[in-house]
Amino acid sequence: MSDLTDELRGLGLDPDLVADRVRQALEEDKPGEDVTSAATLEPREHAWADLVARGGGVVAGLPVAELVFRSTVLDVEVKRHAADGDRVTRGDVLMSVYGTVPTLLTAERTALNFLCHLSGVATATARWVDVLAGTRARVRDTRKTTPGLRALEKYAVRCGGGVNHRATLSDQALVKDNHVLAAGSVVAAYDAVRARYPDLPVQVEVTTLDQLRQLLDAGAPSILLDNMSTAQMAEAVRLTADRATLEASGGLTLERGREVAETGVDFVAVGAITHSAPVLDVAMDLRG
């Protein structure tokens, strides 16, 4: 599976982490024998199976699904007919897999769980990308991810055309309201982070235009506009005049996305693209 390992690494994914998540998912589904397949199927029978989109969207997770099959199916052969990031329609065959029928059916649900979920995240992200098209704004994810699946979900966001925010608490500082309260002010909190971690990216959340002015005077390079009205965001963009990047946040919806983007903000933060994305329906069909 060296080619698949190299592919995962090239996609910005840790192959060992992905393999561990696949192993855990397979063990969760099959701690013992697949009793239904063992009772009803001829163990040496081989067949092709197709993974078919049952709806339209953006694909993500095909290499992960392939790893599931390669970890489970005897005498496996895999042919992909789509690539992660592709837009597909109902009826499109995404991947075909050949192997013993019992092992194909044993791997089916685990492979589809990864593929359907990650494609759902990519599809939700792509909807935002479409809404923001023609503006400077780009949709960015958050840390509101499924425990254990953050790296994969953030990869799916990239497949959908979105931008990743920080992945961990240590790769970037994000000063939020509770930090501000503890420090005494937005500037005090910003200065404290900058003093301790001078080379680390820092973003500071503000809820008022006065806090924004204070941070601009302090030289803050990245500011999060939390739960502001569209008019406040537009004024924030005017006041900032490209001295810092601005990110809109706080319960943003697709219906409001365009008007927020047209204020001139650089990013919109949308936790829903990971924590609330509906799955893209994909099924596995055995060929007769």
| pLDDT tens figures, 89-102 | 999 999 999 999 99
State how far the Cα of 232 lies from the Cα of 209, in Å rounded to an integer: 7
What is the arithmetic mean of pLDDT over 99-116? 96
Closest to 252 measured CA to CA, from 137, 168, 99: 137
Q: Please tell me the total count of domains within the chain.
A: 2
Question: Which phi and psi angles does 74 have, rounded to 5°?
Answer: -75, 140
Structure tokens at 50: 């197709």
Q: Are residues 139 and 247 in the same domain?
A: yes
Q: Are residues 153 and 97 in the same domain?
A: no
Q: Are residues 71 and 192 in the same domain?
A: no
Q: Are residues 177 and 215 in the same domain?
A: yes
Residues in Cβ contact with 149 at an 8 Å cutoff, skipping those fewer than 6 apart: 21, 117
What is the arithmetic mean of pLDDT over 182-209? 96
Reported as a pLDDT band with limits 50, 70 and 90, residue 229 is: very high
What is the arithmetic mean of pLDDT over 116-135? 98
pLDDT tens digits, residue range 38-77? 899 898 999 999 999 999 999 999 999 999 999 999 889 9
Which residues are known catalytic residues? 109, 144, 176, 205, 226
Does the global pTM surpass 0.75?
Answer: yes
Q: Are residues 267 and 146 in the same domain?
A: yes
Q: Are residues 166 and 136 in the same domain?
A: yes
Q: Are residues 103 and 164 in the same domain?
A: no
Q: Which domain holds residue 28?
A: 2-122+278-286
Q: Are residues 58 and 180 in the same domain?
A: no
| Helix and strand totals (H; E) in the chain | 12, 12
What is the arithmetic mean of pLDDT over 233-250? 98
Q: Are residues 96 and 158 in the same domain?
A: no
Give the model's pLDDT for residue 32: 77
Residues 205 and 224: beta-carbon distance below 8 Å? yes
Give the model's pLDDT for residue 54: 98
- Mean pLDDT, all residues of the chain: 96
Q: With 80 as the cut, is the pLDDT of residue 24 above it?
A: yes
Residues in Cβ contact with 20 at an 8 Å cutoff, skipping those fewer than 6 apart: none
Provide the CATH number for the domain around residue 203.
3.20.20.70
Provide the CATH number for the domain around residue 62.
3.90.1170.20
pLDDT tens digits, residue range 148-168? 999 999 999 999 999 999 999
Give the model's pLDDT for residue 50: 98
Give the model's pLDDT for residue 31: 74
Q: Are residues 135 and 108 in the same domain?
A: no
Q: Are residues 118 and 138 in the same domain?
A: no
Residues 32 and 26: beta-carbon distance below 8 Å? no
What is the arithmetic mean of pLDDT over 173-188? 94
Q: What angle do CA 266, 192, 252 make, to 5 degrees?
A: 30
Q: Are residues 96 and 156 in the same domain?
A: no
Longest CA pairwise span in the chain (Å): 73
